Chain A
């Protein structure tokens, strides 16, 4: 019994089917809850890849913040079941998906080719040594990627201010 493969196939099948049902469900609440199932399974998939810190971040940020925000907006606006189907766009997008699937499996070989090349950094057995995954992420994040980290902070600040500004402006106009 190869438990790694069994766990991977379980996680992959649940992720694919929950996202397919999320896309095709008529009601937005079901969509948000199915995406929640998908994100929790993806957090465990990141755990099998040896990224414990990202598992915790995924559950806290995605499941705890972003999807709750979506759920609040779904409750806030008027719910009406989507009965009409947009047949033309659906047909066009189906054809586009078939072509993209063909192209994507060509791109897949390219990714494998790229990723099999040895990395330009030193070999870092970060999940084997006694230094944990969190130690390596903190070490790289605050030494090599400090500028990008600050830029992400500015982007989040701009997002917060933009959201507040967009909602408040309507209130003063009305």
Chain B
């Protein structure tokens, strides 16, 4: 059985990959997908801690995280479709409506 430390390292690596994608990509859909990768890192962390401390609460927090991810994806993707309808672009550096 792998130890808790290995699961925590895996979750931190996944979170940092998602953070790097969130900061460095220009496509709005890829930015939303990297938020999903960060949430997956959190899921691994909570499930591992719940398994190693024999406490069921971490699994329930994972359940809530998955529900929140569904709501966030619905709202975010509808905003992306709205931006594409208005401005005909999905790249974050071409949306310059609020520039003075």
List chain A positions with a Cβ less than 8 A from chain B. Answer: 4-5, 8, 12, 15-16, 19-20, 22-23, 28, 31-32, 35, 38-39, 42, 45-46, 49-51, 53-54, 57-58, 61-62, 65-66, 69-70, 73-74, 76-78, 82, 84, 86, 89-90, 92-94, 96-97, 100-101, 104-105, 107-108, 111-112, 115, 118-119, 121, 123-127, 133, 136-137, 140-141, 145, 148, 152, 155-156, 158-160, 162-163, 166-167, 170
Contacts and interface: CB of A to CB of B under 8 A. Distances in A.
Nearest to B23: A93
Contact of A23 (B34, B52, B64): B34
29 contacts: A15-B14, A19-B14, A19-B37, A22-B21, A23-B30, A31-B33, A32-B33, A50-B51, A51-B50, A53-B59, A54-B62, A54-B63, A69-B77, A73-B81, A76-B84, A77-B80, A77-B81, A82-B91, A89-B23, A104-B12, A108-B12, A111-B8, A126-B56, A137-B59, A141-B63, A145-B60, A162-B74, A162-B78, A163-B75
A145 B5 CA distance: 28
Contact of A61 (B23, B44, B56, B70): B70
Interface string B43-85: 1110111111111110110111011111111110111111011
A111 B33 contact: no
Dominant secondary structure at the B interface: helix
Contact of B20 (A97, A123, A137): A97
B27 to A, nearest CB: 6
A108 B5 contact: yes
B33 to A, nearest CB: 6
B6 interface: yes
Contact of A86 (B14, B26, B32, B85): B26
Contacts of B36: 35, 62, 66
Contacts, number: 212
